[in-house]
């Protein structure tokens, strides 16, 4: 059962042990604390105590940043591969699902930011304090496995882009080493996201997709037996487990007064606006990629054979050079997607490890550890698949299944905690929102469950392998039931406390 809450749960915790930097930022030296602590503008003289200040464009700008870092997870190479395959196989018919699944992903991220701002702690920290040791270790392992799987996709995506842009001179394993040596510069994210947007917008303009079909695809839900697998993939690609942990930490990079509820509510308002804009930008990029491949390859012989490795070449053959060869436009966009998502993965790894294990070490040491856990297996994968690139799509399918398996172990603790009044205080979500988000979570879990079931039924061969899969599935379901039961245990505890008082 989740442990009883303590007084430290009420309100936000102030940052300690901050080291001043020459750039005006404060860098926290603790293992489980903030990336940056940026001072928000002081209260104006006409601010009314207890009343949320009016909207300010300047204040919105001060809160801008974490939402765009978060939205990068909607644009990683795995997502782009899902987009291009959905467009090539299903045409414009799944655009409506892309839109609604993006909305579901945004809803989950809004809960993550709410938890981080209202408590002053991120999800991994709270899980460490609220769950028993055994459950905490299992949740940490699940998060680490998901992070490694996502990082393999992201680094391989960057390596493919580097191979394209170098005209094949740099092999996949060489691209992995280049990606691994990249240093994280937070300001560089804006450049990468802008590069993605411009590259894919240019590609969109060059290919001139059908505007009428695009609008119909967004507004008219359509689904057939031939597109059901890709439809499930569209939903499964949007919510990434490590991003749920990451965003609850990123929103703490703006220092606000935790003792003033109106300031906490103000931060929630600005973060909600910023993250909604950021996710809209990422949705637009995903939309452009899907429609480009829908226009060029739907109902063609190449539709079922397109992946990240050969997508640029197919585009080049279909649309030619133009002012700037579309092969390189695709390569630049893919490189930006891979690099930015790899950086956010590194941040997520630091917070997941520091939060769950409460490790007291320098950030660069944690960065080396978390990057090594992903880069070493990725180099092995790249060396192997550099000789058999057609198998990269199969690898990506396995990694997507892995992501789907771990999603519940990020979403269920998040929903359990934001529904707990003793942890969230007045910022606990209401009953209607609670029912809505649990419904969304159930839908996401069922969709990913369908993917896992169909995938394993097609891949499991042999009695021994089947036995191992069944045993693993039983343990998986048991832990899932345990986590869901914590919601009911907390509700019973709350009701008992109310009666005794």
- 3-state SS of 203-252 is HHHHHCCCHHHHHHHHHCCCCCCCCHHHHHHHHHHHCCHHHHHHHHHHHH
Query: Which of the pair, 158 or 462, is modelled with greater confidence?
Result: 158
Angstrom distance (rounded) from CA 94 to CA 80: 14
One DSSP character per residue, 248-299 reads: HHHGGGEE--TT-HHHHHHHHHHHHHHHHHHHHHHHHHHHHHHHHHHHHHTT
Q: Do the Cβ atoms of 126 and 247 come closer than 8 Å?
A: no
Residue 496: pLDDT band with limits 50, 70, 90: very low
Q: What is the pLDDT of residue 124?
A: 92
Q: What is the pLDDT of residues 99-149, one digit of tens each?
A: 988 998 899 999 999 999 999 889 999 999 999 999 999 999 998 888 888
* DSSP-derived 3-state class of residue 14: coil
| Better-predicted residue by pLDDT, 12 or 123 | 123
Is the pLDDT at 28 greater than 50, yes or no? no
Q: In which region does residue 121 sit, left (phi positive, over 0), alpha (psi from -120 to 50) or beta (all else)? A: beta
Model confidence, pTM: 0.81
Please answer whether residues 345 and 168 qualify as being in contact, where contact means their C-beta atoms are separated by less than 8 angstroms: no
């Amino acid at each position: 059962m989740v442990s009883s809450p303590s007084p430290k749960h009420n309100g936000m915790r102030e940052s300690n042990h901050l080291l001043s930097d020459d750039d005006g930022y404060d860098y926290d030296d603790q293992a489980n604390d903030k990336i940056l602590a940026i001072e928000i503008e002081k209260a104006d003289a006409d601010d009314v105590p207890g009343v949320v200040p009016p909207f300010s464009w300047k204040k919105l700008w001060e809160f801008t940043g974490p939402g765009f870092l978060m939205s990068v997870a909607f644009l990683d190479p795995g997502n782009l591969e899902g987009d291009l395959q959905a467009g090539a196989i299903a045409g414009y018919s799944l655009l409506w699902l892309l839109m609604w699944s993006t909305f579901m992903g945004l809803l989950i991220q809004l809960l993550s930011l709410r938890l981080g701002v209202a408590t002053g702690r991120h999800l991994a920290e709270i899980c460490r304090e609220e769950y028993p040791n055994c459950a905490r270790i299992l949740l940490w392992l699940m998060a680490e496995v998901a992070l490694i799987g996502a990082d393999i996709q992201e680094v391989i995506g960057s390596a493919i882009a580097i191979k394209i842009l170098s005209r094949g001179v740099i092999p996949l394993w060489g691209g992995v080493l280049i990606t691994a040596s990249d240093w994280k510069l937070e300001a560089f994210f804006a450049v990468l996201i802008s590069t993605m947007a411009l590259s894919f917008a240019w590609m969109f303009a060059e290919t001139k997709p059908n505007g009428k079909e695009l609008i119909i695809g967004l507004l008219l839900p359509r689904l057939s037996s031939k597109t059901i697998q890709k439809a499930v993939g569209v939903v499964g690609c949007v919510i990434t487990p490590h991003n749920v942990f990451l965003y609850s930490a990123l929103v703490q990079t703006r220092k606000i007064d935790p003792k003033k509820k109106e300031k906490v509510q103000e931060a929630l308002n600005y973060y909600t606006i910023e993250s909604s804009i950021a996710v809209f930008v990422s949705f637009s990029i995903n939309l452009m990629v899907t429609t480009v491949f829908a226009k060029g390859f739907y109902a063609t012989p190449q539709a079922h054979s397109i992946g990240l490795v050969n997508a640029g070449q197919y585009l080049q053959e279909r649309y030619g050079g133009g002012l700037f060869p579309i092969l390189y436009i695709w390569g630049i966009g893919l490189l930006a997607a891979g690099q930015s998502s790899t950086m956010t993965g590194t941040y997520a790894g630091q917070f997941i490890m520091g939060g769950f294990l409460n490790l007291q070490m320098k950030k660069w040491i944690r960065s080396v550890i978390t990057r090594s856990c992903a880069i070493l297996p990725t180099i092995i994968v790249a060396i192997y698949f550099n000789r058999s690139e057609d198998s990269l799509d199969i690898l990506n399918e396995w990694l997507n299944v892995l992501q789907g398996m771990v999603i519940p172990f990020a979403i269920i603790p998040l929903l359990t905690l934001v529904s707990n009044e003793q942890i969230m205080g007045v910022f606990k979500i209401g009953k209607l929102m609670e029912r809505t988000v649990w419904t969304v979570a159930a839908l996401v879990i069922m969709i990913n469950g369908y993917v896992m079931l169909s995938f394993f039924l097609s891949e499991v061969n042999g009695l021994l392998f089947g036995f191992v899969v069944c045993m693993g599935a039983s343990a998986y379901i048991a832990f899932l039931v345990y986590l869901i039961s914590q919601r009911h245990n907390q509700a019973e505890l709350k009701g008992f406390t109310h009666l005794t008082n």
